[in-house]
Structure 1
Amino acid sequence: MDQIETPHLIYLILLAIAVVAWFVSDVRQTFRKTVQQALAWVLIFLGVIAAVGMWEDIRSAAIPTQTVFADQGRIEIPVSVDGHYYLTAEVNGVDVRFVVDTGASNLVLSKNAAQSVGIDVAALKYFGKAMTANGEVRTASVKLDEVAVGAYRDRNISARITQGDLDISLLGMSYLQRYEQITITRGKLILTR
């Protein structure tokens, strides 16, 4: 060490001793409480690490998803926390999230979903009409190449695109009638083919 570094090193050592002495004298009376708080923070840190490592398991338990039992001919859709049943279907090769709506006559795609599956919504002719909870909206008729849920693949499906502001696509009766039975039981909607 040269002559300039030695005084700096001595200063840092004395400063460290002073900080440790202050800490020991300050926590001597509350040492037990300090250890408890430190242990609590260690446990919180370990809990966060465990939650991050098990996130997929936690998410699937907290937010159950649809299950396709192709060998048994059924699709089970768990009820969501908002009371609706959401199904993800592959439309023209793209995943689209639908709310199952037995009150809707047609399979209806939102503008965003229609664009994501390759439909030019600006070129559509909105000649149709539909009544919604928010009033009348204009719709355009389209044919979807394919709608798939698990092993079930249906081709050349009629659908409507809404001109209005629809947040989510609707899986209405024009598609649901392809299933033999629609059952709601124990927090699940079951579609049977």
Structure 2
Amino acid sequence: MNIMEDGPSLIWGVVCLALLISSLAARRLPLGYLAKAGLAWVAIFAALFAVFSFRYEFMSIWERIKADVSGTAGQNVSGDAIELRRQDDGHYWLQVEVNGNPVRFMIDSGASFTAINATTAAETGVQIDANGYPVILSTANGRVAANRGLVKSLRVGPHVITDHQVVVSENFGDTNVLGMNFLDNMQSWKVEANMMVLQP
């Protein structure tokens, strides 16, 4: 807390409290009532002063809550760079717009292609090649069959990838993965400490 910055507010609060006490005293109310009323107003002023003093901390907490709810926690698009902080599960997550729809992806450099589960593909209008031969993929849950698909627009902030090839399967569970064909669209990408930086 900055004393110089919050000093005028503190003085103003004390003045208001003194005026309030003087007003109550002038009405010649019972001493017990005055004491209770005074303590109540002291508590109110103290709470307001605490909120004002720690307003930046409260704003930071609110921004963190909004990021957790929206799925953009640990994600920062700054200029030409996309910065991702490693999450508690040890992975890097990126929210992108798939054909205009927000979707949260885990980034996996061990996956060859971007993988989208069937539910997400249906909700975002991914074009699926149902007539082509299925692709057999090796996953953590074993080998699964997937269809090839196409995302017309994949957007992260101002950065857009068009006609992005993906694989789609009901066997991917709830997770969507950005694979190497997504990272290959970047000019560069690197991991340092607990940060991943993508340079589109």
Same fold (TM over 0.5): yes
Q: Does 1:174 align with 2:181?
A: yes
Q: Does 1:192 align with 2:172?
A: no
Partner SS state of residue 121, structure 2: helix
- With 179-188 and 73-82 compared, the bigger mean Cα shift is at 179-188
Q: Which amino acid aligns with 2:155?
A: A
Alignment of 1:82-121 (within 5 A): 82-119=89-126
Deviation at 1:183, TM superposition (A): 1.1
Q: 2:109–2:179: 8 Å Cα contact kept in structure 1?
A: yes
Compute the RMSD of aligned alpha carbons.
3.0
Partner SS state of residue 171, structure 2: coil
Deviation at 1:131, TM superposition (A): 0.4
Deviation at 1:61, TM superposition (A): 8.6
Partner SS state of residue 110, structure 2: coil
Partner SS state of residue 164, structure 1: helix
Cα distance in structure 2, aligned partners of 1:87 and 1:185: 17
> Which of residues 62, 65, 72 in structure 2 aligns to 1:56?
62
Deviation at 1:133, TM superposition (A): 1.1
TM-score with structure 1 setting the length: 0.65
Q: Which has the larger radius of gyration?
A: 1
- With 60-69 and 167-176 compared, the bigger mean Cα shift is at 60-69
- Give unpaired runs (5+ residues) of structure 1: 1-38
Deviation at 1:175, TM superposition (A): 1.0
Deviation at 1:152, TM superposition (A): 0.5
Which residue of structure 2 lines up, in the alignment, with residue 10 of structure 1?
none
Alignment of 1:120-159 (within 5 A): 124-125=130-131, 127-159=134-166
Q: 1:137–1:163: 8 Å Cα contact kept in structure 2?
A: no
TM-score with structure 2 setting the length: 0.63
- Give unpaired runs (5+ residues) of structure 2: 1-42
What is the CA deviation profile of residues 96-139 of structure 1, one whole-angstrom value per residue up to 9, with x for unaligned ones?
Answer: 11000000000111112112102487x83561110001110111
